[in-house]
Structure 1
């Protein structure tokens, strides 16, 4: 018996609750017949990983597209322009543009009217890049928060996504994504919270959750 099969059998003998499956030997889907086009991608939900997944997507897009003259940009609606988290340090090294548009979490804000204006000013920059046609991917990180706080007009965001050039991809992240964006999106992933170390009293880990 091979090593993998032996381990699987051992799990069964130990009473593991994991279900053993037979590996598929045939492709379970047909290749789509439609044309390639820009997608609207939403990462939402209460679980961890929404921004992390968007950063991974941006890296993939940057690695393939920047050699063809297409740009990739990440706008962070709740981060300050001076933020220096791990992603900022790495993206700066490789030339992937990432820009904080806000002044941090709302409970840290000294002036919510100012926070709202920062969001509106930031949206105008992101909107120009979405409509300009020079970007392969625009990431709108944590944009759901200024939307649900009423700082940004949802109608303008929806219309901009509809009016964008056909080959521009846009990825939006954040909890409680408005249903209008869910309906418009091509791909929606909901991160479900099952366990989180923070709720067990473990502080945020630098390089993992910063």
Structure 2
């Protein structure tokens, strides 16, 4: 079963799809009209991995709602549903895609595969007033959460800034799942965003709650 994780509340739902199927198998999950339009769209991608990611997102969205929805993109490359029935955010990492939907507010989601690269580039997104606490003796998880949470908030914000150091995580001790807050210093409001997170053996997942 490729639907790997799923979470739903009154206002927000998200899900993670593990990409194990072939492209033909994925397309077969979709309604006929959507399958035909997707097959036409896929011709613009060269990479087989990109085709799988793109199709998996559509399959995951359909499995979440059991309705055929079209994903469009704004001039800032942010996804939205063409019928505006839900706010949507999308993320993918090696082997997985994630989608979040909200009926009431803009949302952001991010999924990041476990890897050591975050140590080499931490100065690009970790502030001097932030501290990465270890999870099970490994600070990699905390660094991944810092990166992922800021990506999720970046996707959520209307006036986003690509400099992730303009976002600050409040101090937290990583657990398998939980919430923490991210404060933005991009606008004069300096808004606090609440972010949910989960740590899985392969990845971290973060999503905005407000």
- Short-chain TM bin: under 0.3
Q: TM-score scaled by structure 1?
A: 0.28
Question: Greater CA radius of gyration, 1 or 2?
Answer: 1
Higher relative contact order (CA 8 A, sep 6+): 1
